[in-house]
Chains A and B, each alone.
Chain A
Amino acid sequence: MFALTHQLLSGLAMGSIYACVALAIVMIYQATRLVNFAQGEMAMLSTYLAWAMIQAGVPYWAAFFLTVAISFVVGAAIERLVIRRFDGAPVLTVVIVFIGLLVIINSVAGWLFTYEIQTFDSPFPDTARFGAGYISPHEMGAIGVTLVMLALIYAFFRFTPLGLAMRAAAQNPVSARLVGISVGRMLAIGWGLAAAVGAVAGMMAAPIVYLDPNMMGGILLYGFAAALLGGIDNPWGAAAGGFLVGVLENLAGAYLVGSEIKLSVALAIIVGVLVAKPSGLFGRVVVTRV
């Protein structure tokens, strides 16, 4: 019972990281119908940025928020300077661009920071005040940070005029322009937000999986699985999918397949969802009358 609870809770912790990655993927997918394969590497580079700042003596939370802000700007810049040029290009072309970005960012990180594995300190205390043994303070902190971020993003999209304009631009760009929304600017903001969310995922993951240029490889795969499981059309479904995938992964790793091949759980989920329910668990059904 103790072991099961422990597996469930630490599954939720990893799940919160997958939820962030899934949310970042879905935000860009909704606006462009494209999956950004470089999302994980962008998050990895952000994490190195935070690491470098902390090494230089910047307090953790200052480094955290600075990293989120810089990631936002860089994400928006990548959209404006790179992705925008492939507007209207065939899907395959854009996919190649994403893969190119993935390889470039990975190599740049390796060149700047080497491929040596680094430790990344957690901002949370070493010893737990409660729940000892079941869940580490960092895992609990990661869940908390993710939940706060999800709530903020939800409130942004749901209650602010800019959030509404971004949803409108994603759904119906032609009409959005006719009411005066600059769709290009919305896309850049969307990329910036996705990069910022990814940065949070990277910084929460690094104390668990350690920091190296390939740290996000497996996480991105779980993020895809989460997005598909929750419904790639629905950001909140995708986030819920993240938590679910984290728990499934941990339980399967502990009781089913062992930790060596538990990454295949992600692939099994992806294939399973595509076969059984392509719209995902929470995929939205649009009501239309003709």
Chain B
Amino acid sequence: MAALLETRRLSAFYGQTQALFDVDLTVEERGVTAVLGANGAGKTTLLRALCAMVRRQGEILFEGAPFNPREAEEAARRRIAHVPDGRGTFLELTVEENLRLGAYTRKDRSEVARDLKRAFDHFPRLEERRRQQAGSLSGGEQQMLAISRALMLRPRLLLLDEPSFGLAPLVVKDIFRILRAINRDEGVSMLIVEQNANLALDLADRAFLLETGRVAVSGASSEVRADESVRRVYLGY
């Protein structure tokens, strides 16, 4: 398998404070990579660095060529969809408007209409509420909307920041089932940041453990799962 995304010695900064140190990471073509770690380990920062939302150093390779975004909107133009920390919902717009915005950079209108239908097939609840303000949705529905909005880009790579955050276990299960289906059926590669290590490792083929901004453990999901320290600290058995 070829690497779709690769970072080399990627560092990131908030003002003068360095939050990420020399991270080497890969996402395979059609693969899912999980980034694990505690609060403040730099997981969200990593996703932000990929989308030019924080100052960074080091190299990013995307589709085999250097990718040097200077503005966050360049990521979307390269069909990298980012479901950010806090979901990034346009709360005052309707559900349908949120979805249409996901396809903002696309010009193929008829295909967009088809994808809108597909999003409603994935999540019928969104179709029932398509004319409602997105802010009136429940947390789980908003997460479904955020994922659907990202898929409207027909992304090459989906960046997911804690999709399980603040949701009931049953809803989380549902969302991960759909993520798996999207990866398997549509070949969308994913880089997923999660605190819930078990869930993320089930979905991912590769995993990286971040500790205070550095990669502490990395490898195939099964290896990372078997790692003594990961098991004790993050999996709890």
| Contact-size category for A | 20 to 34
A287/B88 in contact, CB under 8 A: no
Contact: B135 with A178, CB < 8 Å?
no
Contact of A171 among B76, B90, B153 (CB under 8 A): B90
> Which one of B31-39, B98-106, B200-208, B211-219 contacts A?
B98-106
8 Å CB interface, B134-149 against A: 135-139, 149
Task: Report if B51 contacts A (CB, 8 A).
Answer: yes
Answer whether residue A88 sits at the interface, using C-beta atoms and an 8 A cutoff: no
Taking the complex as formed, is A208 at the interface, i.e. its CB lies under 8 A from any CB of chain B? no
Task: Pick the interface stretch among A102-110, A112-120, A125-133, A179-187.
Answer: A179-187
Is A175 on the interface with B (CB-CB < 8 A)?
A: yes
Does any Cβ of B come within 8 Å of A85's Cβ?
A: no
Cβ-neighbour of B138 out of A164, A168, A289 (below 8 A): A289
The interface size bin for chain B is 20 to 34
**Chain B residues in 8 Å Cβ range of A171:** 90-93
In the complex, which of the residues A161, A176, A179, A288 contacts B153, with contact meaning CB atoms closer than 8 Å? A179
Whole-angstrom distance between the alpha carbons of A287 and B137 in the complex? 9
Check if A177 sits within 8 Å of B91, measured CB to CB. no
- Could you say which residues of chain B place their CB within 8 Å of the CB of A161? 100, 104
Alpha-carbon separation in the docked complex, A167 to B90 (Å): 9
Q: Contact between B71 and A287 (Cβ–Cβ < 8 Å)?
A: no
Residues B133 and A178 in contact, CB atoms below 8 Å apart:
no
Q: Is the CB of B71 within 8 A of A164?
A: no
CB-CB under 8 A from A180, the residues of chain B are: 73, 75-77, 104-105, 153
Docked pose: A161 CA to B89 CA in angstroms = 17
Residues of B contacting A175 with CB < 8 Å?
A: 84, 88-90
Please tell me if B230 contacts chain A, counting CB pairs below 8 Å: no
The closest CB in chain A to the CB of B88 belongs to A175
**Interchain nearest-CB distance for A190 vs B (Å):** 16
Per-residue CB proximity of A68-82 to B under 8 Å, as 1/0? 000000000000000
Residues on B with beta carbons closer than 8 Å to the beta carbon of A165 = 101, 104
Interchain CB contact under 8 A, A174 and B71: no
Chain A residues with CB under 8 Å of B105's CB are 179-180
Residue A286 lies at the interface, judged by CB distance under 8 Å to chain B: yes
Say how far A10's CB is from chain B's closest CB, in angstroms. 36
Closest to B105 in A: A180
| B82 on the A face (CB < 8 A) | yes
Which of these, A174, A178, A183, A287, contacts B136 with CB under 8 Å? A287
List, in ascending order, chain B residues with CB within 8 A of A172's CB. Answer: 88-91
**A26 → chain B, closest Cβ, in Å?**
15
Interface residue? A33 (CB, 8 A): no
- In the complex, how many angstroms separate the beta carbon of B158 from the nearest chain A beta carbon? 12
Interface positions, chain A 140-178, Cβ under 8 Å from B, are: 161, 164-165, 167-168, 171-172, 174-178
**Residues B51 and A178 in contact, CB atoms below 8 Å apart:** yes
- For A275-290 the 0/1 string (1 means CB < 8 A from B) is 0000000001011111
Q: Residues of A contacting B72 with CB < 8 Å?
A: 174, 177-178
Q: Which residues of A contact B90 (CB under 8 A)?
A: 168, 171-172, 175-176
Known: A164-B97, A177-B73, A179-B104. Is A289-B92 also a contact (CB below 8 A)? no
- Do residues A288 and B91 form an inter-chain contact, with CB atoms below 8 A? yes
Q: Which residues of A contact B138 (CB under 8 A)?
A: 289
Q: Identify which of A167, A180, A182 gathers the most chain B CB atoms within 10 Å of its CB.
A: A180
Note all chain A residues with C-beta closer than 8 A to B101.
164-165, 168, 176, 179, 181
Q: How far is the CB of A288 from chain B (nearest CB, A)?
A: 5
Q: Could you give 9 example pairs across A and B, Cβ below 8 Å?
A: A164-B101, A168-B93, A171-B92, A171-B93, A179-B102, A181-B101, A286-B133, A288-B135, A289-B136
Nearest 4 pairs between A and B by C-beta?
A: A180-B76, A177-B72, A175-B88, A180-B105
B residues touching A (Cβ–Cβ < 8 Å)? 51, 53, 71-73, 75-77, 81-82, 84, 88-93, 97, 100-102, 104-105, 133, 135-139, 149, 153
